């Protein structure tokens, strides 16, 4: 039987209360969002926090997806299921919808949250590269104020983020742009599994030319984004040979490890192929040729 090590349990009644508890209880306290990353780690005793601060009562307050000031704002307790069901995201930031379809399974998506997923910072987690590719930002709050961090700088390393001990991720902000299209392509071995590799691509077109591009990679090491691949796209018109070049660069920039999901060569090959496919679909969406 897998049961977590003993801990003291608190329920946060508000964001301020959660922050106050974090400050008072110190570094051995952890926030519990949907629990579908942290609880399995606690059951394996890989994580053994002394205090657990349950954010479940904040699921309504921090569970939202809204358009505001030219961007989409997603509350940290928004569940995967709500992201998948969002019309706004399906219409304007389709990469989210593509990714959510293949995150875990419907039951896990009923509990797991965007904030929990990002803060767990698993290298195979999908939304980190989605938001990084879309040039989104994380809003992090502490008792002394609020700061915004670009998702590209959110991760310090595997399972490590810039969120400090007495801080809490409360919202994700993703800019909306005209002429935009985005897509996420993922290969996994079976339903519910983590990605072997996945790539998200966003294109912003103006007058038929690529004005900006975002490439995010999942589960293949290296950075979360390939800025060299992005640079290779800007100023070009969307075309196969342009996508080929970006795909080649993204595969060069990744740094996968061999494991039971595949060899280094296979993952590199997948990164190139998935970059190509994501760019094709992103371009078709930006041009209104595909939903």
Q: Count of CB atoms within 10 A of residue 156's CB?
A: 11
Kindly state the smallest distance separating residue 195's Cβ from other proteins, in Å.
16
* Torsion sign, CA atoms 12, 13, 19, 25: negative
Residue from the set 12, 22, 29, 52 that interacts with other proteins by CB under 8 A: 52
| 8 or 257: CB nearest other proteins | 8
Q: How many residues of this chain bind other proteins (CB under 8 A)?
A: 30
Residue from 192, 30, 200, 172 nearest 114 by CA: 172
Kindly state the smallest distance separating residue 269's Cβ from other proteins, in Å.
27
Residue from the set 24, 67, 107, 156 that interacts with other proteins by CB under 8 A: 107
Piece in contact with other proteins (CB under 8 A), picked from 6-14, 133-141, 174-182, 261-269: 6-14
Length of the chain: 291
User: If binding is defined by CB under 8 A, does position 276 make contact with other proteins?
Assistant: no
Element (H, E) at 248: helix 240-253
User: If binding is defined by CB under 8 A, does position 80 make contact with other proteins?
Assistant: no
| 107 or 231: CB nearest other proteins | 107
Q: How many angstroms separate the CA atoms of 57 and 75, rounded?
A: 14
User: If binding is defined by CB under 8 A, does position 17 make contact with other proteins?
Assistant: no
Cα 185 to Cα 102, 195, 224, 270, distances in angstroms:
9, 10, 15, 10
Q: Count of CB atoms within 10 A of residue 263's CB?
A: 12
Q: Using CA atoms in the order 245, 249, 252, 253, what is the torsion angle rounded to 10 degrees? A: -170
List binders of other proteins among 143-172 (CB under 8 A): none
Residue from the set 15, 20, 110, 179 that interacts with other proteins by CB under 8 A: 110
User: If binding is defined by CB under 8 A, does position 104 make contact with other proteins?
Assistant: yes
Instruction: Give the binding site for other proteins (CB under 8 A).
Output: 1-9, 11, 32, 35-36, 39-40, 42-43, 52, 54, 56, 81, 104-108, 110-111, 191-192
């Amino acid at each position: 039987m897998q049961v977590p090590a003993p801990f003291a349990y608190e329920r946060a009644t508000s964001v301020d209360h959660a922050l106050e508890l974090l400050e008072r209880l110190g570094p051995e306290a952890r926030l519990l969002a949907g629990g579908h990353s942290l609880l399995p780690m606690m059951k394996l005793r890989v994580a053994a926090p002394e205090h657990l601060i349950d954010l479940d009562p904040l699921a309504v307050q921090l569970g939202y997806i809204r358009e505001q000031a030219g961007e989409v704002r997603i509350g940290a307790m928004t569940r995967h299921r709500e992201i998948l069901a969002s019309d706004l995201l399906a219409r304007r930031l389709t990469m989210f919808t593509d990714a959510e379809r293949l995150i875990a399974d419907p039951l896990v998506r009923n509990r797991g949250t965007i904030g929990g997923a990002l803060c767990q910072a698993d290298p195979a987690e999908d939304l980190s590269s989605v938001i990084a590719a879309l040039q989104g930002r994380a809003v992090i709050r502490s008792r002394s104020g609020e700061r915004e961090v670009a998702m590209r700088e959110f991760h310090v390393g595997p399972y490590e983020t810039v969120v400090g001990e007495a801080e809490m991720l409360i919202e994700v902000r993703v800019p909306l742009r005209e002429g935009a299209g985005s897509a996420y392509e993922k290969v996994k071995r079976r339903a519910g599994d983590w990605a072997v590799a996945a790539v998200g691509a966003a294109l912003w077109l103006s007058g038929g030319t690529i004005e900006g591009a975002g490439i995010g990679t999942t589960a293949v090491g290296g950075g979360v984004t390939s800025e060299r691949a992005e640079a290779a796209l800007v100023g070009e018109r969307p075309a196969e040979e342009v996508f080929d070049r970006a795909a080649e660069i993204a595969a060069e920039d990744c740094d996968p490890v061999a494991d039971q999901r595949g060899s280094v060569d296979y993952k590199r090959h997948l990164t190139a192929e998935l970059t190509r496919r994501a760019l094709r679909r992103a371009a078709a969406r930006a041009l209104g040729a595909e939903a």
